[in-house]
Structure 1
Amino acid sequence: MTSIPEWIIEYPETTRVFNELGLDTSCAGKSLQYVCHHQGLSPPMVLARLRQLITSEDNDV
């Protein structure tokens, strides 16, 4: 699983989701899964939100 900074580099719009969930966007390069677990969030739920955002952004273009 990729890190939060990698998501933001590839899809800058995902910053919004990370901020809403209170996830540290620098996270020292730790994986998204690691950061989610330490925040008490479900990695599959976070991934679903990210994918939904990316898909909806692609459809808006």
Structure 2
Amino acid sequence: MTNLGLESSVVEWVMEYPEVQCVLESLGIDQSCQGKSLEFVCQQMGLEPHFVLKQLHEVIDDDSNVNE
């Protein structure tokens, strides 16, 4: 499980877990977002932050299972 959360910036997510880029792109989230938190970006875009967080965790979990 990741130590990143809604308060973490989108950039932190991409740097720590590059595999989340596909989720961010599919949702139209700019990966630079000028250091804004994932929660802030989601709210600005009208996305449910916890839904986005769940999707990111699923990609990370799937990727870690493949590498085991």
Q: Secondary structure at the match of 2:23?
A: helix
Instruction: Return structure 1 stretches of 4+ with deviation > 6 angstroms.
Output: none
More helix by share: 1
Query: TM-score, normalising length from structure 2?
Result: 0.88
SS at match of 2:29: coil
CA–CA separation in structure 2 for the residues paired with 1:43 and 1:32 = 7
Pairs aligned (count): 61
What TM-score do the two structures reach when normalised by structure 1? 0.97
CA RMSD, Structure 1 to Structure 2 (Å): 0.4
Identity %: 44
Partner-residue secondary structure (3-state), 1:17: helix
